[in-house]
Chains A and B, each alone.
Chain A
């Protein structure tokens, strides 16, 4: 290999005559390429095309806030003591002086009050973590509702889903580190939940806490998870997630020139480098601004963990809310002693219920792929309305999550709105069951109605707002045809129809095919058949015909009116005087001249 470079010298030599960016850059690039083959990488990715849409930015929020989390978190590790050794606080914050607390809380307070900018970095870290999980959440919603999880991206959906879980785990482990009153109560709840798991719960809690709750080990252990194990997995999966995105190429929305077999957009260098890099700074900047203006997690008000005190109205960080809410919505008495063992259904039902919910989210792409049996690749992001049932399922899931989330604030809702605690809980319990069902049907109907509206616009044009009276006295609104680019955005070529089961080679219909058929009916029974080019051509021809007809009728009507007004030569269109071109002053664009005779303005202008 090393000796075979001679023939390649010639083109290189030519390039060296006028190196891009000067001799130094050229020499450096050459030095690096001769040792890394980096030029191939740049050739492949340098001008790679990315499609443009605001919703593609949501994942970037997650990515960049994670960068902020990493940077701020690294700074904090230089000062934080992950130890539960008891100590007496002697730092700058007077109200806590002399209070016995763990080294973890002591160092967290010192970061906040004895380190210039320490509070800022702590708040940046916490806010960025909240934004990180939120960014992943909205990104997942975008992927789900546009069907961007379809082949070939099912695996990347699963990776992204694991990232979501890891982000929540990172959040919870981090939240627990300062060992303040609130985080200790959070751990107490986790401990109580773990103990409710049959068979292994007691021992898992015992091992996790290194003995009895709270013990002296948990902060150190969570710290190892928080800064080593979880971030390592997170970064690894994140890299894989992005690599797969590059390999699969980003989805794009249907639009003129955009098909399933191309990508239309701007090149990585320089446009996306600048846009994405710029967005990193915007995300970072916004988080820093929030952190400099708004307090988060004021541990100095809470004090050290003590099992006895707790304040009312305490809430977990937002992303844990749905789990806390699930615990709150359990009715009284869901616990039995059976076989001489305690079965805590008040813990198990929320745990299993949430577990099922998130597993369903994780495997949804595979369920849909199995039902449709579609093995083709899909690179066009669907409009949510065009997949009515999926969008309805998503809306039901969002409602389910939202009710659980609201339940985590049940006490705050009750006190703020002067409601009874029981009333709020009972309402939310009912909503948890009814809400998703209502959301499902309402969303599905809205989606199908929107599909019909799109089809209406494609076939009959959009409502122009122009009302015309026909000779018979009937008023109609003129519909104008949309142009071919708009029309393309409105048509949906990607329909499915329910499965019709057929016996297999043995003359039987296997049960799973029957199941698949019923599920496919559920998904695709209510649908609009895709349009054909012939239908569109006919519709467009009809629209033009209709418009010509209306124009002819209108001409007759206007001419009649002008004739009756004594100005048969008056124009049939509004007069464009440069100021009032939009004024619809038909049918009598007539002014009276100085001598009293009626004169049409600009009589040469004719209806075109």
Chain B
């Protein structure tokens, strides 16, 4: 590469960048020249060179062999039996073949470049990134000519009206995105109202508490002391996946636990929300909505596995640790004539994570 200075560098003469706060050293340390080239073993020793050449082509042929092996492994290790061991073997042996084939190419190429190709260092001059003065002047002239020809800077009314039109033309695109979510329909007057949807669950007065996911009802007597039962509303168990099962379930999941009645600290207005020490709380974390699925039997704490919020079941599920801010909403329960647990009413507040319109 060229060592001489750029003959056109003087065209950037007007550019004299400020060094800012850089310390000006009148007598800076002089950089030494490039050190003399040191020959590698392969440069000096023909045997070593021959060895390197042999290594490189051996690796390339090894790669061919590994590729052939990968194809063979594809056929030798079928997965049609469905057995997990067959899938593991197929994955491993095909993968090892492909991986080795690729690695051998890579190592060979790099060995080629490091041991065989010339390792003499070259010097290439750098030029300032900015264009030459004449080029810059020509660019400015181009804009200026275009401006004169179009009157872009002079005819302000045209320019501003154009900007207004282009900006306004984006608005319909924004409006179109309203269609991302459903709107209210006569059949479902709140289908397009996220706040109304968030405030409503499938729980209503008299709804039976049933096992998740089997849908079998729960007799109060079957909820033993210290146990935790994962519960959904009876009507949810009958819902199909295509009928909004997951959406309803995401709001309606409940945990039922039985404690000694004397362990429960209950406020007077919620005194009848539990039944003989059986309490039901929303299983959706009030932080960001993970299921609060871990129940510590000894301490009566509920733990969210996602962000480790902990709720004290003995004390109205209030937050005792972690990032959650609100207690889990409680589902008032009682039993029906047959002794099955039922909801006394729906949830009295929205379940799950906080949202702006919640109050």
Contact = CB atoms under 8 A, between A and B. Distances in A.
A208 B194 CA distance: 12
B32 A485 contact: yes
B208 interface: no
B34 A195 contact: no
Nearest to A221: B180
Nearest to B212: A308
Contacts of A282: 102-103, 106-107, 110
A249 interface: yes
Interface string A401-430: 000000000110000000001100100000
B143 interface: no
A44 B319 CA distance: 66
B354 A271 contact: no
Contacts of B213: 306, 308
A188 B246 CA distance: 12
A202 B198 contact: yes
Interface stretch (B158-166, B268-276, B287-295, B338-346): B287-295
A106 interface: no
Interface string B162-203: 000000000000000110111000000001001101100000
B305 A249 contact: no
Contacts of A283: 106
B325 A346 contact: yes
Nearest to A201: B356
A338 B180 CA distance: 30
B57 interface: no
A263 interface: yes
A169 interface: no
Given A263-B126, A278-B107, A292-B94, A202 B22 contact: no
A344 B110 contact: no
Contacts of B180: 207-208, 210, 217
Nearest to B245: A86
B181 A488 contact: no
A331 B323 contact: yes
Nearest to A334: B325
Interface in B106-121: 106-110, 112-114, 117-119, 121
A249 B126 CA distance: 8
Nearest to B111: A278
A334 to B, nearest CB: 6
Nearest to A122: B91
Contacts of B1: 47, 49, 267
Contact of A488 (B29, B79, B95, B240): B29
A456 to B, nearest CB: 16
A577 interface: no
Nearest to A284: B102
A291 B20 contact: no
A513 to B, nearest CB: 12
Contacts of B126: 249, 260-263, 379
B322 A332 contact: yes
Contact of A49 (B124, B293, B326): B124
B356 A120 contact: no
Contacts of B287: 192, 327, 346
B48 interface: no
Given A293-B95, A327-B323, A342-B354, A264 B34 contact: yes
Contacts of A379: 126
Nearest to B230: A308
B203 to A, nearest CB: 15
A494 interface: yes
B119 A214 contact: no
B31 interface: yes
A346 B124 contact: no
Contact of A333 (B29, B110, B244, B325): B325
Interface stretch (B149-157, B216-224, B247-255, B256-264): B247-255
A65 interface: no
A225 B20 CA distance: 44
Nearest to B289: A192
Contacts of B178: 207
A310 interface: yes
Given A330-B323, A334-B325, A310 B112 contact: no
Given A120-B95, A274-B110, A278-B108, A312 B30 contact: no
B28 interface: yes
A260 B114 CA distance: 26
Interface residues of B, number: 118
Contacts of A274: 109-110, 112-113, 117
Contacts, number: 394
A373 B18 contact: yes
Contacts of A114: 79
B321 A332 contact: yes
Contacts of B249: 306-308
B255 to A, nearest CB: 10
A328 B29 contact: no
A117 B346 CA distance: 51
A237 interface: no
B57 to A, nearest CB: 14
Contacts of A100: 241
B121 A266 contact: yes
A191 interface: yes
Contacts of A189: 288-290, 306
A30 to B, nearest CB: 25
B14 interface: no
Nearest to B352: A192
A373 B23 CA distance: 12
Nearest to A422: B321
A446 B194 CA distance: 55
A559 interface: no
Contact of B109 (A92, A277, A329, A493): A277
A292 B288 contact: no
A198 interface: yes
Given A189-B290, A282-B110, A341-B356, A493 B28 contact: yes
Nearest to A64: B106
Contact of A377 (B31, B96, B128, B242): B128
B154 to A, nearest CB: 32
Contacts of A219: none
B91 A332 contact: no
Contacts of B137: none
B321 A289 contact: no
Contacts of B34: 256-257, 264
Interface stretch (A7-15, A389-397, A523-531, A548-556): A523-531
B82 interface: yes
A270 interface: yes
Given A278-B105, A309-B291, A375 B308 contact: no
Contacts of B94: 116-117, 120, 292
Interface string A190-233: 01110111111111011111111111010000000000000000
A512 interface: no
28 contacts: A117-B91, A189-B289, A196-B355, A202-B194, A210-B181, A211-B181, A213-B247, A257-B31, A264-B34, A266-B122, A271-B117, A275-B109, A307-B249, A308-B230, A308-B253, A340-B359, A341-B359, A375-B17, A376-B22, A410-B308, A421-B303, A421-B308, A488-B29, A488-B31, A493-B29, A498-B21, A532-B28, A533-B29
Given A198-B356, A248-B129, A265-B121, 20 more contacts: A86-B241, A113-B79, A196-B353, A202-B355, A213-B250, A262-B124, A263-B125, A272-B113, A274-B109, A275-B110, A278-B112, A285-B98, A285-B102, A332-B320, A335-B325, A342-B357, A422-B321, A496-B21, A496-B23, A532-B27
Interface of B: 1, 17-23, 25-35, 74, 78-82, 84, 87, 90-96, 98-110, 112-114, 117-119, 121-126, 128-129, 177-178, 180-182, 191, 194-195, 197-198, 212-213, 230, 232, 240-242, 244, 246-247, 249-251, 253, 283-285, 287-291, 293-294, 303, 305-310, 319-326, 352-359
Closest 10 CB pairs of A and B: A292-B95, A192-B288, A278-B109, A257-B34, A373-B20, A285-B103, A281-B106, A335-B325, A282-B106, A285-B102
